[in-house]
Amino acid sequence: MDKIAQAAKLLEREFGPDWLAIAQQLGTENLRKRVGKELTSFLAFPERGEGGSSTWRGNCSPEVVSSVLKYVLDTKRYYGKDISQFTLLDPMSGSGTSKAVADRYGVTSVLYDLNPAPAAGKGNWNALKNDVEDSADLIFFHPPYHDIIKYSGNMWGKPHPDDLSRCENYNDFLEKLNLCIRKFYMALRKDGRLAVLVGDIRSKGQFYSIQHDMMRMGEFESFLVKGQFNCVSDGRRYEKPFIPIVTEYMLLLHKKDVFMVPFHYSQNQCFSIAETDLAALTWHHLIRMTLESAGGRMSLTELYVRLKNHPKAEKNPHYKERIRATIYEHKDQYIACGDGTYRLTYQVA
Ligand SMILES: C[S@@+](CC[C@H](N)C(=O)[O-])C[C@H]1O[C@@H](n2cnc3c(N)ncnc32)[C@H](O)[C@@H]1O
């Protein structure tokens, strides 16, 4: 038996069913605590902790809220700021985890949710239609991860058209999420922070990175990676190769200036190599890709025809000679088949 398996056995014998959480806690400690800090860019809470409800699907560990709240309070204290009226706002509060944490620290909390009867705070509050009347020093925003868990019509009430877990598609979700980010940023007080907890998702085999695609407003203070433990899907087995998502992310955005707003907006775009010339695109790349597009084999005449109108060829009156010379210069990559056609040295996927 190797040492890891031996240690697992020993821990199980000593601590019973709790052994795994203890091992995970120990195993992640080196990343969770560094240079004398309790909060690092790696979060891991194998044991959820008290507050909110573990039965509310998509709930977060109170320790996540606690870590960021403690950090913001410590920072304010360090810089001599008054925290007597510190307010934590959670606009999509689910099972009320944030209230439990705010109570633990003795700070005021304001909670909203679209759910008409939430565990705590104001219900029937619609992030897409209603204004944020309150202001806050820390907004903890934990939206649905697109449609991975449906809230209205599942966790509560009837399906609601403005429920962020019921968007038409990923782009619709992103647009609505970005509207929320803008709204919540506006509700921050000066020196306030917006902490957004999101997870990337895979839907119908397609990977979507919410943390990458979403809008950021304010100074990007930190990007924290959180390990996901005890997920519903952990017990499933899949044959198809893919990379399971086992992390979530917290983006910490700081409102330093009242009026000046740094922001980052990401846009997905696509271009066709068949119609574009780039400094990075050599003749060799272009010929290789053109052969790939035809299954890996083509005659010189076909190559001339296919590339005649490419911007690279339009700039070069001797493009046919260039094509021939490129093939000649890369003998190890293009194999002459003897019938006027050339093929690639590898099978095209
Ligand atoms: C991921 S859950 C929050 C979980 C929470 N952090 C906890 O620990 O229980 C997301 C919440 O967003 C709420 N929600 C979805 N769309 C909303 C909207 N348009 N306005 C306000 N709340 C919304 C859902 O009802 C759900 O409770």
Neighbours of 116 (CB within 10 A): 13
Of all protein residues, the one whose alpha carbon is nearest to atom 3 of ligand 1 is 94
List the chain domain ranges.
Answer: 33-264, 273-344
What whole-number distance in Å separates Cα of residue 107 and Cα of residue 104? 8
Radius of gyration from C-alpha coordinates of the chain: 27
What whole-number distance in Å separates Cα of residue 68 and Cα of residue 223? 12
At the second CATH level, the architecture of 33-264 is: 3-Layer(aba) Sandwich (3.40)
How far the first Cα of the chain sits from its last, in Å, is: 42
Question: What is the average pLDDT across 67-90?
Answer: 98
* 273-344 carries CATH number 1.10.10: yes
**Given this model, what pLDDT does residue 74 score?**
98
Query: Ligand 1 centroid to 267 CA: how many Å?
Result: 26
Query: Ligand 1 centroid to 303 CA: how many Å?
Result: 56
**Given this model, what pLDDT does residue 105 score?**
98
pLDDT in tens, 13-64: 999 999 999 999 999 999 999 999 999 999 999 888 888 888 888 889 999 9
pTM: 0.92
Read off the DSSP letter of residue 122. B
CB within 8 A of 59, min separation 6: which ones?
Answer: 52, 53, 94, 95, 97
Torsion of CA 27, 59, 101, 74, to 10 degrees: 60
Query: Ligand 1 centroid to 167 CA: how many Å?
Result: 13
pLDDT in tens, 232-283: 777 888 899 999 999 999 999 999 999 999 999 998 899 999 999 999 999 9
Read off the DSSP letter of residue 164. G
154 Cβ closer than 6 Å to some ligand 1 atom:
no
Strand partners, 202: 207
What whole-number distance in Å separates Cα of residue 225 and Cα of residue 40? 9
pLDDT at 209 over 90: yes
Least confident span in 45-49, 66-70, 75-79: 45-49
**Given this model, what pLDDT does residue 42 score?**
97
Question: What is the average pLDDT across 275-297?
Answer: 97
137 Cβ closer than 6 Å to some ligand 1 atom:
no
What whole-number distance in Å separates Cα of residue 165 and Cα of residue 147? 5
Read off the DSSP letter of residue 213. H
pLDDT in tens, 101-138: 999 999 999 999 999 999 999 999 999 999 999 999 99
Q: Give the pairing of strands 136-141 and 188-199.
A: parallel
109 Cβ closer than 6 Å to some ligand 1 atom:
no
Considering only residues 170 and 268, tell me which one the structure prediction assigns the higher pLDDT. 170
Question: Which atom of ligand 1 is nearest to 60's Cα?
Answer: 8
User: 45 is written with which tokens?
Assistant: 């809470």
**Given this model, what pLDDT does residue 175 score?**
97
Give backbone dihedrals phi and psi of 247, rounded to 5 degrees, phi first: -135, 155
Question: Which atom of ligand 1 is nearest to 97's Cα?
Answer: 8
Of all protein residues, the one whose alpha carbon is nearest to atom 23 of ligand 1 is 114
Least confident span in 74-78, 229-233, 343-347: 229-233
What whole-number distance in Å separates Cα of residue 188 and Cα of residue 184? 7
**Given this model, what pLDDT does residue 55 score?**
85
Residue of 134, 163, 231 to mutate, ligand 1, most atoms within 8 A of C-beta = 163
62 Cβ closer than 6 Å to some ligand 1 atom:
no
164 Cβ closer than 6 Å to some ligand 1 atom:
yes
Q: How far is CA 231 from CA 62, 70, 139, 271, in A?
A: 16, 26, 26, 38
**Given this model, what pLDDT does residue 233 score?**
75
**Given this model, what pLDDT does residue 51 score?**
87
Query: Ligand 1 centroid to 92 CA: how many Å?
Result: 4
